[in-house]
Amino acid sequence: MDALLAEIRNCRACTAHLPLGPRPIVQASAPARLLLIGQAPSMTVHTTGVPWNDKSGEQLRRWLGIDREVFYDATRVALMPMGFCYPGRGISGDLPPRRECAELWHASLLAQMKQVELTLLIGQYAQRQFLGATRKAGVTETVEAFAEYAPRFMPLPHPSPRNTGWFKQHPWFERDVLPVLRERVRQALTSTFVP
């Protein structure tokens, strides 16, 4: 795993498309039990080099019911976004994650994380990649149907402050989904792996 992570951190595959240049940000280890697949680093994450080190990360940790100490413990939690580098800004927010990343690195990383019990699919790009044809019409419908993807996956909306309106319009997420999410995260982080 160390050699793979070193290789990823030296990746320059899409230099020409990255306004701030490559800075791959990923956290992973072989014993990790919980895997989070998000979109791509924000500007703040790019600047600090720390995954989910922004308002979205604060909201996400509240959802999961875990503190920064657990969240950044790579032996327990893996953070593998769809794109590892900050993609730059478009007209209505950050650009989508670079496609090259999943094609180049995801399979190798996943092959080395065989103890993952629960994978959280955060946002449309992760849901499209990992749920394929079982994904519903949109993120709202997919999250609403979260029970269908258990026990391996749990789809979530992106915790960005930009989605505050969505959270207000869909109170069932906080009421019905978050308690289940917290329990499943707790179970994944405390379970004993059986080969």
Among residues 11, 82, 121, 181, the one that binds ligand SF4 under rule CB under 6 A: 11
Is 4 a binding residue for ligand SF4 by CB under 6 A? The answer is: no
Minimum separation from the CB atom of position 119 to ligand SF4 (A): 19
Identify the residue whose tokens are 């720390």: 50
d(CA 163, CA 30): 33
The H or E element spanning position 155 is: strand 153-156
Among residues 37, 64, 77, 85, the one that binds ligand SF4 under rule CB under 6 A: 85
Q: Are strands 93-94 and 89-90 parallel, antiparallel or unpaired?
A: antiparallel
Is 123 a binding residue for ligand SF4 by CB under 6 A? The answer is: no
Piece in contact with ligand SF4 (CB under 6 A), picked from 7-15, 44-52, 117-125, 173-181:
7-15
Peptide bond preceding 179 in cis form (omega within 30 of 0): no
Is 109 a binding residue for ligand SF4 by CB under 6 A? The answer is: no
Identify the residue whose tokens are 């604060």: 58
User: What DSSP letter does each residue of 162-183 carry, written as one string?
Assistant: GGHHHHHH-HHIIIIIHHHHHH
Binding mask 12-51 for ligand SF4 (x = CB under 6 A): xxx-------x-x---------------------------
Among residues 45, 78, 101, 185, the one that binds ligand SF4 under rule CB under 6 A: 101
Tokens of 56: 């979205």
**Residues engaged in binding ligand SF4 (CB under 6 A):** 8, 11-14, 22, 24, 83-85, 98, 100-101, 104
